[in-house]
Structure 1
Amino acid sequence: MNSFFKNMKGQRANILLLCQLFSRLALVWLFSMFFLSILEIVINSINRQYPSQIFQVIIFAFANDLIFWISDLFGLFFIFLVVSYFSQKLAIIISQTFLMVFFAIQLALMDYFNTALVPLGSDLFSYSLTDILQIIGSTSGLNIIILLLFFGLLALLFVVTRYLLNKLQLRPFMAIGFPLASIFLYFTPLYSIGFNMPTEYENNLIKNKTAFFLSSSSEYFLNSNEEIDIYSDAYIGDFDGIASTVAKMEYPFENQYPFYHSNVAPDVLSPFFQTLKKQPNIVILLVEGLGRAFTNDGAYLGNFTPFVDSLAGKSLYWKNILSAGGRTFAVLPALMGSMPFGKNGILEMGNDIPKHLSLYTILKRNGYQTSFYYGGKTEFDGMKSYLDNNHVDQIIEEKSFPAGYTKLPATAQNFTWGYSDDQLYQLYFENRSKSTLKKPELNVILTVATHDPFLIRNQDKYIQMAKSRMKQIGLDENKQAEYNNFLNQFSSIMYADESLKKFIQTYSKRADFANTIFIITGDHRLPEIPMSTKIDRYHVPLLIYSPMLKRTAQFASVSTHFDIAPSLLATLEKQINIKLPKAGNSWIGDGLDTVKTFRNIHHYPLMQNKSTLVDFVMNDYHINGNSLFKITENMEESPISDDIKLNQLKQAFNQFKKKNSQVIRGVKIVPDSLISRYGIN
């Protein structure tokens, strides 16, 4: 009996020693996370933007580190005990290896954030390997200096870890307390705590980047095969209270064609145009990263697009347009076809994209010649499959450029996205001058220069232009010093604006200029300059410019890229009698709003990236996940607490998700008869 108790006592002593050893490892991990958080805040303050509330940022960053640390502690402790049962030395080696792997991942994710100013999440898994290599090659943050700093910090953390493991001494109750606290706190509201900062940049800065990546990734993979019950109560029901102010779609065959509805967008553009005497040429200019934050009068970062601003005064100008997505993947299907997202963006469905009607197919059926111009590779984001499915007549991309054209400057990794805006426009005019076609044309041009790494030819010239612009718009010295951290970004914006100016000036000398309608917008707001709100990433300008306008106007009402195709086609049907479906269509959008004062009569989903569908707007409300925001004029927003409104928006959002899930499973969005009659087979 005595030997039994001695044995039990020995086991308890051994477990206590293991607890003390594990707790020392755990504390080293925690202290290292605190150190890395401080390092990240310092680096971003120097290289990017100094937080407005630095002490609050530090405290909240530490709090997020602590929550991540305590949440995983018991699971790691259990693994440590199991391995220690076989070999204590092996358990220590595995633990130290875990720490170094964590440090390496955290440093890499910190570097990504310092470059992109958005934390990396599950969107990584939504890109092909080719696309990922292209993105990595484009980053301006990856070079030999960064790599040396990376391995230097890793070595420092290794040395400090070994030192602290030998020096830290813990009392028994503390050693046992950490794992027990992890279990106890798991069942408390601790893990649902959210910390709100004044800007989206600061909200992202305080996140533990590894915790965010793991949480986002686990949610992506756990939900990737989750079957959505489209008949459950959560997906059924009206959004009472708000619905009365929203034009409700009528879906006559909802089970067979979830997005096919009988509503037809009204013609709101004809009152601004002269009577069209023949089919107009249509040129759509999609400017990479062109956000309202730095575009036109009232831009909160200041107006860095003087030409676009001047052109807006000669156009129909919407200052509160929302892109459908936070990245380029969403712009073509939303703007050209007002389409749903599918699982990872509809373009990722490749040849399985559901048959649909679009600006491309409808205008081609009505006698138009169609084209797409892009300075990069159209395989990126699956654009090539989409263009092929829409039977685009001419696809101009990087490999189409003849000798004599100059690409964007390469990064240290010898990567370039392709050809700059001015070179793209030059090739466009060269091809047009050679064309003998007598058909009207629909030409879409997507630029790429205003994209990380923001390297352009004659960069010094545009940096000086950006600095001069800062003084012109009245930025004080402190603000100018802050903006100097983003000179490559601002210089590329100035370059894009100047290139667009030359494009319009050149076009104005052409004979067909008088019969051309230009549509100019951004694909999304570039995120590499700090964002102020959740909705800021989607906030872009929209200009419809044409010599055929009989009057100009500026609109503060909210619309989206989803609304452009329905409104343009409604006008062309009325003015030149193009053939459109009378019974209905599958547009998500119901048309542009031409009310001059601020309002939003629409309700639409917005997809942040290829794996994150968490944003929905309805009237002057916006939900992001479980957070509700009130939208005010100029698309500013602030968090509010209103469970009734939150549930109303969630119900409306779930109605979209129900339909979207059917598309993912291969359900058609329009009858084949519409495709054969109004589209291209």
Structure 2
Amino acid sequence: MLEYRDEHIESKERKLRDFIPVVLTFFVGLAVLSIYQNTMLYSMGVLDSIFNSSFFLYLLHHLGFASVISLFLAFIFNLLENKKPGLGLSTVKITIPFLLVLEAVLITYYIQNFEPLGSDIFGLFSTKEIRFSLLQASMASLITGAVCFICYKYIASLYTVISRMYPLTIVFFSIFLATLYSDKKPVNENKTQYLAEHLTERLLQWNSYEGAEEYPLLRPFQKETGLSAYFRTMDSLPHIKIILVDGLGNDFVNGRFTNFMPHLQELKLRSLSWKNFLSNTGESHASFPTVIGSLPFGESGFTTLPDFTYRNTLYSVLKDNGYATSFSYGGNTALFNMDRFLEEEKVDLIFDRNNFGNEFSLQEEDAAGITLGYPDGALFSNFHKNAKEFHGPKLDVFMTLSTKAPFHIPNFDKYRDRVAQIAEKSNLDGSAQRFVRRNEALFSSFVYADEALAEFMEMERSSPHFSNTIYILTGSHQLSEISQDNPLAKYRVPLLIFSPLLKSPGEIEKVASHADIAPSLLALLSANRPVKVPGQLGFLGGDLVKQFIKKGDRQIPLLRSAYKMHDFIVDDFFYSDGEMYQLDQDLNLKELEDGNKTDVEAIEQKFENFKSINRYVTTKNRIIPRSLSLIEDRKPKFSKEEMIWIESVFNGKDFDNAYSNAKRLAFQKDYGRALLLCEYILSEIPRHADTEILVGRIHAWKGNYDKAIEILNRVIKKYPKYGDGYCALMDAYFWSGQNGGTYEIQRLSRKNGVQDKILDEKFKRSIALIVNKEEEEGGQSMQQKTVEIGSKRK
């Protein structure tokens, strides 16, 4: 028995002794191919160096890939070795060289075409533009094979050392798991893994769009709306203000928690209100483009789409009709690419976190030391103080954040006491009372938001445009912190439309959604005034008031959260996670009656059809044709070579780090590379203020003073509260000897409340030069006059 055990241990050690050197040699081969790639790209002038930070990240990704391949091969190896000794080792020794040759071929393709080979492999031979050298790939494979052969002999001889490193396999596998979540770039990604992932993704796209229409959402613009019956005749185009309150669910306006927002209740009594209204999404950022443009969601919200997509929204259509546009948000618009969306829409004024002055205070930081931004009171006050006068109509959009976790609001103790008082006087049952006490921060934030909205409306009443303004207020989604009794309740939000132009208030029972707001507003304006609207639009929604006549026409898609589209409404049926419910007039869910069960399959088919259309129009840029779009793709285009260099110096999503790299390059006087990296940063984060300032400074350092001054003047107009922009502009004026604009810049900075000691020193420096010049000119003038007087006396 002991002899058998020893023999078994010896056999197991022999297997490990054979297997481990092979897989370690596999990683060595991948490392050699990494050097091959970077050496070739460096020799072509694409990379600045062979061994850079991107190279070491490349090795890390290779290590992760080698680890998972080794884990898979270990299973195959043991299985085959147990069947026939030597079979497993032979299989591994065939597989590893094959993978190395494949990687060499894919890297060669990447080097010569500057892009990795993915699912486009299916059309590889249908194009004549593909460049590939079989000789170069063969040479790379042979050199890699020779290095691996030598290393394998050496590694095999060191088995006694390597055998003690067995626990590192766990570490290697952990590294692989970590690399799965890293933001890989083609220049530092294992090319075989890239190909495998893209082929798998393509094969799994089972519900692809197969319709005959190239633009399946495109429909003629409906010029009539049920809203017209509720409005008086408009003598001119009205101002429109849309307020999107984060997390404001139906419970606070039409449900059990109405006592916590008394001012909103008063506004409701003077407004058109919707009893059965829905957000199309469960995410704040995703609700914004649905409200503004009735746009499809993509996978996780329209603004997160990686590429530009032609469309028309309230912003673009109203701007085309002479409206001034603005967007106000106390947070960071770079999140979820909202800044890119706003720049594409050419919004005139953007009041985000960069554009609040020193008179406003940020919300309290959370446990991680992060603040969401500025509270609602500051949001509305900043708008009223800094919005520019405009003699035409305006579209102003507000997104709040005080009612978003962690619910940090100013004067928390004050509002917490108010919550306790309201709860005590309310008719809430014991369970609801306990819920309020356990979530006092949440309810305090809504009491605060209600007060901020009331103050905003009070300020609006004093505006000369108040009588000709339409106010639209809705919630982004229902807060997940508030439990609901059915899966549809999470989408229920209020909608209030208030305006002095209304004939009378009223409550509308029709089931409608965020996607219906934009089409209805445009129809309302068209019914009253001559408004230019494209003849066809790619909207998801329809009318807020008019009922659908044809069965199956009312479809309301619902995006639960990123990558989770599991809910769908067709007429009076609600489909959720494979379950079907019937809706009553109050949106309560009922079990299906036997007679309706035949409709389940048809509704499921409609849902699958919508999901395929949603994916198709957002990935293929097929919402509307380019000829109908009122906006253009202004994002700069980079060559493949430029993208490889950019990815070699910047990997990930930390654009502040990319900015630091650009600044370092500029200090090294590599202005061309610095400007290229800046251009890339701004293509992804258009409102990265420091990068915009750096671009202006680089032009000034190059001696292009007029260009620098032009750029930096745009910067201080865009970020009037940011002192660094003024400092850079003052430097450009000083270096170019153009100090005449100093007093105007000083006036602007003071008007916008900019307090900066360095800026003050720059003002003093330039003013001193102006004074000296005036004194010199004055002395010369006096001397000239003295000479003239003397001449006359003679």
Contact in 2 for aligned 1:296/1:306 (Cα 8 Å) = no
Contact in 1 for aligned 2:240/2:469 (Cα 8 Å) = yes
Instruction: Quote the residue 1:429 is aligned against.
Output: 384
Instruction: Quote the residue 1:413 is aligned against.
Output: 368
Separation (CA, whole Å) in 1 of partners of 2:476 and 2:200: 28
Separation (CA, whole Å) in 1 of partners of 2:415 and 2:373: 19
Instruction: Quote the residue 2:230 is aligned against.
Output: 272
Contact in 2 for aligned 1:556/1:595 (Cα 8 Å) = no
Shift of 1:402: 1.0
Separation (CA, whole Å) in 2 of partners of 1:616 and 1:507: 38
Q: Deviations over 1:392-449 (max 9, x none)?
A: 11111001111110111111222110000000000011023xx232121000000011
Q: Which amino acid aligns with 1:665?
A: T
Contact in 2 for aligned 1:329/1:345 (Cα 8 Å) = yes
Shift of 1:519: 0.3
Q: Which amino acid aligns with 1:364?
A: K
Alpha-carbon distance change, 335 to 222 in structure 1, aligned in 2, over 3 angstroms: farther
Instruction: Quote the residue 2:298 is aligned against.
Output: 342
Contact in 2 for aligned 1:600/1:619 (Cα 8 Å) = yes
Q: 1:622 aligned to 2:574? A: yes
Alpha-carbon distance change, 223 to 488 in structure 1, aligned in 2, over 3 angstroms: farther
Alpha-carbon distance change, 617 to 576 in structure 1, aligned in 2, over 3 angstroms: same
Instruction: Quote the residue 1:361 is aligned against.
Output: 316
Instruction: Quote the residue 2:558 is aligned against.
Output: 606
Shift of 1:465: 1.6
Q: Which amino acid aligns with 1:385?
A: R
How much identity, in percent, do the aligned residues show? 31
Q: Which amino acid aligns with 2:572?
A: D
Shift of 1:566: 0.5
Q: 1:474 aligned to 2:430? A: no
Shift of 1:593: 2.4
Separation (CA, whole Å) in 2 of partners of 1:532 and 1:272: 34
Shift of 1:265: 5.7
1:230-629 equivalence runs, <5 A: 255-262=213-220, 264=222, 266-292=224-250, 294-297=251-254, 299-301=255-257, 303-350=259-306, 352-432=307-387, 435-582=388-535, 584-593=536-545, 602-629=554-581
What secondary structure sits across from 1:673 in the alignment?
Answer: helix
Separation (CA, whole Å) in 2 of partners of 1:226 and 1:487: 49
Instruction: Quote the residue 2:667 is aligned against.
Output: none
Instruction: Quote the residue 2:735 is aligned against.
Output: none
Instruction: Quote the residue 1:58 is aligned against.
Output: none
Instruction: Quote the residue 2:623 is aligned against.
Output: 669
Contact in 1 for aligned 2:329/2:353 (Cα 8 Å) = yes
Separation (CA, whole Å) in 2 of partners of 1:607 and 1:320: 18
Contact in 2 for aligned 1:322/1:560 (Cα 8 Å) = yes
Calculate the aligned-residue CA RMSD, in Å. 4.1
Shift of 1:663: 2.1
Separation (CA, whole Å) in 2 of partners of 1:94 and 1:413: 33
Q: 1:654 aligned to 2:608? A: yes
- Matched residues, number: 476
Separation (CA, whole Å) in 2 of partners of 1:507 and 1:405: 20
What secondary structure sits across from 2:216 in the alignment?
Answer: coil
Shift of 1:592: 0.7
What secondary structure sits across from 2:391 in the alignment?
Answer: coil
Separation (CA, whole Å) in 2 of partners of 1:473 and 1:126: 50
Scaled by the length of structure 2, the TM-score of the pair is 0.54
Q: Deviations over 1:583-638 (max 9, x none)?
A: x2111111112579xx9962121111121111111112211231222223433325
Larger-Rg structure: 2
What secondary structure sits across from 1:494 in the alignment?
Answer: helix
What secondary structure sits across from 1:413 in the alignment?
Answer: coil
Larger CA deviation: 408-417 vs 471-480: 471-480
Separation (CA, whole Å) in 2 of partners of 1:623 and 1:94: 49
Shift of 1:675: 2.1
What secondary structure sits across from 1:635 in the alignment?
Answer: coil
Alpha-carbon distance change, 127 to 544 in structure 1, aligned in 2, over 3 angstroms: farther
Separation (CA, whole Å) in 1 of partners of 2:476 and 2:339: 17
Separation (CA, whole Å) in 2 of partners of 1:603 and 1:595: 12
Q: Which amino acid aligns with 1:409?
A: E
Separation (CA, whole Å) in 1 of partners of 2:437 and 2:199: 42
Shift of 1:505: 1.2
State the 4+ residue runs in structure 1 displaced beyond 6 angstroms: 92-97, 124-128, 220-223, 678-681
What secondary structure sits across from 1:628 in the alignment?
Answer: strand
Q: 1:634 aligned to 2:592? A: no
Scaled by the length of structure 1, the TM-score of the pair is 0.62
Separation (CA, whole Å) in 2 of partners of 1:486 and 1:287: 19
1:125-144 equivalence runs, <5 A: none
Q: Which amino acid aligns with 1:337?
A: G
Separation (CA, whole Å) in 2 of partners of 1:675 and 1:476: 53
Show structure 1 runs of 5+ residues with no match: 12-74, 106-123, 129-219, 237-253
Contact in 2 for aligned 1:264/1:585 (Cα 8 Å) = no
What secondary structure sits across from 1:468 in the alignment?
Answer: helix
Instruction: Quote the residue 2:188 is aligned against.
Output: none
What secondary structure sits across from 1:367 in the alignment?
Answer: coil
Shift of 1:520: 0.2
